[in-house]
Structure 1
Amino acid sequence: MLMKEATARLTLSELAHLGAGEVGYIRKMRYDEINRCFPEAPEIDPSLDLWALFGADGTPLLLTDNRSSTFFKAAEDELRTVSLH
């Protein structure tokens, strides 16, 4: 007896919203990325290590020089976090 493989299909819109409101990702930011992701950020010392929290869809939620703050914000927003390197 042959089993037919089931294939899940998502539209681009469904894929873009996968994890929305449930998952956030944390990653270290380079100085040259700040203005693109956080255009309203004040002038920042380029020598600082910066961390950002983003929604699953890439929406910037928080920029900080304290990595722990990203986890606190995610918990506050009830997001499960993943780290990107």
Structure 2
Amino acid sequence: MKDKSYLGLLEYLSFKVGCMYLSDLRYNENLYNIQHELRSIDPNIYSLKEWNDAVNYITGERYEFDNVNEALDFLISI
């Protein structure tokens, strides 16, 4: 069972970017701030599933990466 204080990757990014709603992460105007926050986190804190889910949620497209660094690099480069 997860600790109640644990923030998933999407929740963490939403908080750090200052989104009122999680769905605000999908807005293009938030992408720069998302990428900025991604550069400062250890990607291994989150599971590969969370990274794949985050990429799919933020982009609105289906992607499957083999490791967390690929997913991180993709999000930073889009």
TM over 0.5: no
Greater relative contact order (Cα < 8 A, sep 6+): 1
Structure having the higher Rg: 1
Higher strand share: 1
TM category, shorter? 0.3 to 0.5
